[in-house]
Amino acid sequence: MERGSSSHDKLAAERILSVIQDHHLFLVTLLVGNALVLESLPLVIHLIMPDWAAILFSTVIVLVVAEVVPMSLSTGALKYRIAYYGCPLVKVLIYVFYPICYPMARGLDYLLGKEHKERILRKDFVLLLRDRHKVLDGWICLERDGGTRD
């Protein structure tokens, strides 16, 4: 996207890159914000419904709203547009959670290194799994007791 021909694509890429440039701070901020919201959800919901219903309701909401929908959107065709429009919110979250997230991000830099240049490619992943799994036509079929899964 950064190499896009239009100026709007280049501006969008710059906006997204400005947020994810410090990838550990970005990651920790999103995880802390996610944990804060998801852990406080049952505490608030149980005030308006019975405990069993609050647990059930919050579990369904978390699965759908915080897991399934974001994952499907972030891997779809609109992922760059969503990232572009979500950048201001993420910048606010980084600012608000900075005192908590900055030390954790620097700890990750120390433990893992600031840059992670090495990425595992799909073909390398398949080779990694080949010893324990059988790969058929792009599908990875788990083997049980040495036999193939039917």
Q: Name the residue among 111, 86, 88 with its Cα closest to residue 24.
A: 111
Q: Domain locations in the chain?
A: 7-116, 119-150
The reported pLDDT for the residue numbered 116 is 65
Residue 13 to residue 35: CA distance in whole angstroms: 28
Cα–Cα distance measured from residue 143 to residue 145, given in angstroms and rounded to the nearest whole number: 7
User: Residue 124: pLDDT above 50?
Assistant: yes
What is the average pLDDT score of the chain?
Answer: 79
Where is average pLDDT lowest: 38-52, 60-74, 110-124? 110-124
Predicted confidence (pLDDT) per residue in 34-45, tens digit: 899 888 888 888
Burial class (CB in 10 A: 0-12, 13-18, 19+), 94: buried
